[in-house]
Structure 1
Amino acid sequence: MKLYDLQGNDFLTLADYSKEELMYLIELAIDLKEKQKLGIPHRLLEGKTLGMIFEKSSTRTRVSFEAGMFQLGGHALFLSKDDLQMGRGETIADTAKVLSRYVDGMMVRTFAHSIIEELAENATVPVINGLTNEYHPCQVLADLMTIYEKKGSFEGKKLTYIGDGNNMAHSLMIGSAIMGMDCVITTPKGYEVDQSIFAKAQELAGKSGAKIEQTHDVVAACKDADVIYTDVWTSMGWEDENEKRLKDFADYQVNEALVLHAKDDYSFFHCLPAHREEEVTAAIIDGPNSVVFDEAENRLHAQKAILASIM
């Protein structure tokens, strides 16, 4: 593949991309990471502007996209919900059409996935999903990049996700299925993944040879895992359920006893921010098997690969 083979594409879910295309983005991200470390200029988006729409706040998403555009020679424009007429009644379609006249691409962090789909349908520039309630593809591309760096391949590897069946679980299933990596989603009863997305992941796995499973048995799920992955128990928007979730998820903490069932050289992943002593103990997230800060750094490089390719 060449740098511009994906030009003009949206990046809404990983399911829109083939294994070859995702592998290209991972390898490009690794190359851009090396260039950044060596101080080699890579101003692939000179003169380009990214409009960043935030209906949900974020540390990593804003800083990584803004820094990434700067390193690529372009400019990022931060737009909160209070900066847009969309928050005061302008339609999503009109917002997409107007912004398309001003910027060369849009990154959107919002609630319902239907919002970003409507924006993309009406925009004439590429649209990137910075997070929706259903998917978090930029995070998982960075996760796949990190797994590739640490483990060298996807085939024959097993990723175990422990926690809420949320947007992270959905995108990890899809990404694993495409790349040919086994994935076990482990949730308490009542917190399972969306069944239509689970079915899509299994369909994709049928082509790659991966196994995609869902279980409530956290010990069995961790057996021989190469990657242990967790997320906060109470995501943004679910704060009213926090007390209930703390009880429901109490047996799903990633701790020293649980990881004994994984491979000795397992890697611990967390998309951050983390709540130590809730979903994970400090001994694990700050321990020798944790790669959470490498993973967080790779958001920058994976997103630069996306930006450079589609813009």
Structure 2
Amino acid sequence: MKFSQRGRGIVRMVAVVLSLALPLAMAVSSADARAGGGLSSGSRGGRTFSAPPSTSTAPNTAQPFNRTITQPGSPSFGTPGGGFFNRPGLLGGLAAGFLGAGLLGMLFGGGLFGGIGGFSSVIGLLLQIALIVFLVRLAMSWWQRRHETATAFAGGPSPLGAQSSFRNATGFGLGSGSAPLEIQPGDYEAFERLLGEIQAAWSNEDIARLHTLATPEMVSYLARDIEQNKARNVVNKVSGTKLLQGDLAEAWREGDTDYATVAMRFSMVDKNVDRLTGRVVEGSDQPVEVTEVWTFVRPRGANWELSAIQQT
């Protein structure tokens, strides 16, 4: 009898802790389901496996590609490993760490979490880490807002406008095998326009429209991501896409094809909603800021198209 009462008390305690920890963890994460799904996908011609130079907008090195067809037969060409333990970022690492700790406990005879006391300790640790993540996110957001006023755009004092939002860069013909390529103001306007149009077509699940804005490779990834959303009975709604800062990382020519890789920091409302009820499942109506490196390709005489998206 005493054991059952104690057990009920522990269950109540765990329920209370989870009710506090889980909403907090959800509050510090966005849907991260915009076009590209927060992955690095696509190709950059002969520079696919070379990291683009860092810029003031994206000082960190761009991540290597999770999905690309440049290397036929590569395991990364298939769908990335799914499931909670394969999620990028802090939560995936925590889950893997907890699982590893549990397995070690089993090997040494302590049970999966070393008994009820061990389980309570794990929940307490999870709550502490969630609080730390929340505070770090708040600090980072404050710093970005403070820093944005001084360095709103890399190319000029105006916080709006395509020509001033990108650093004026010409002749970025890097590499011995590349011809010099000059990026004109009209090209920057095209990059900013494509940013908004691709997010809108993605949000509307308009595959036909995406085919006019991106390469067949990128469309194949976006179409597959849309199908995965349909299987989950959700639709990703992106709105209010606004370029905040951008600059050119590199531009080059391969044969009759031009390439331009640009770093862009932009804001958007990114949320997943239930297809039937419209209820928000992930994300919120609050804008989030994202920094990504996009590569555009332009065959001679044609328009720019999205060729790759890389996370930073």
The reply to whether TM is greater than 0.5 is: no
Larger Rg: 2
> TM-score normalized by structure 2?
0.28
Structure holding more helix per residue? 1
